[in-house]
Amino acid sequence: MSFFNKWLGSNDKKDISRKLESPKDLMSGDIVSFKLYAPPALCAKPFEVSEVNTYEFEDGNKAELILKAADGTLVFLSYESEDGQEYLSVAQKIKRNEVEMLFDLDEFGLILDQEQGAVSLNLAVPESDLPSQVQHLQGFLAPSYHRETFSERGFFYKGDFRLTGIPGFAEGEEFDYYNVVSSDEKHEVEIEVWDDETDVSITLVADPSLIEEMWPAEKPLK
């Protein structure tokens, strides 16, 4: 039985003692659904929080929630507050061949070039004309971006340290972070350069109201 079937059929076992009033309260096992106007990859299906991990930067820590749908769709959710404004970052990771379908690789490579001043990145084709292999990114893309962050050092930790803080003995995986941002600041391309690989994410920045409903995880069966 899938976790969604178990969840839907086990109302008497749900943990009603926890109330989810904000995305920042989500934990592993919780269920999330998005508004019907959300991008196609997000709407009309529930996601389970399958894992929570932690990013550490000079200006603070950020929890990243891995959301998984029954059809295998994975998205990466983080919640942030800045200058009294709350927002979500919802990301899909993409492979090199998908980067090639979306952008000119020479232009994309300039994001990582320290010698470049102002750097722009443009979508190779209009979003309405995306190849079928990348149509799952509809709603996550902007026509153009400008570079905002260059080579910011970060550390990645497996686990959720929102309540306890990162313990002193923990060793994070080191990486360099880059991003480009759309003019309306609602879309990003994020790049993490590790020792042995490079991760690229296409990110939608949205109001927390993009989430339709949240349900707490079931109580463990006794």
Please indicate, yes or no, if residue 221 is contained in any of the structural domains.
no
Domain presence at residue 94: yes
The identity of residue 12, as a single letter, is D
Residue 222 placed within a domain: no
- pLDDT at residue 16, as a whole number: 54
Contact 189, 203 (CB under 8 A): yes
| Tokens coding 16 | 């009603």
Give the range of the structural domain holding residue 93, as residue numbers without chain letter.
3-215
- pLDDT under 70 in the chain at which residues? 1-16, 219-222
Instruction: Convert the pLDDT of each residue in 24-37 to its tens digit.
Output: 999 999 999 999 99
Instruction: Tell the burial category of 195 from Cβ atoms under 10 Å away from its Cβ (0-12, 13-18, 19+).
Output: exposed
Sign of the dihedral through C-alpha 140, 92, 66, 85: negative
Compute φ and ψ for 36, nearest 5 degrees.
Answer: -65, -20
Q: Tell me if 143 is assigned to some domain.
A: yes
Q: Is residue 53 assigned to a domain?
A: yes
Give SS3 for 216. coil
Number of domains comprising the chain: 1
Question: Would you give the end-to-end CA distance of the chain in angstroms?
Answer: 18
Tell me, yes or no, whether 220 lies in a domain.
Answer: no
Amino acid at 58: E
| Partners of 187 in the β-ladder | 204
pLDDT at 117: 87
Q: What is the pLDDT of residues 7-53, one digit of tens each?
A: 455 444 444 578 899 999 999 999 999 999 999 999 989 999 999 99
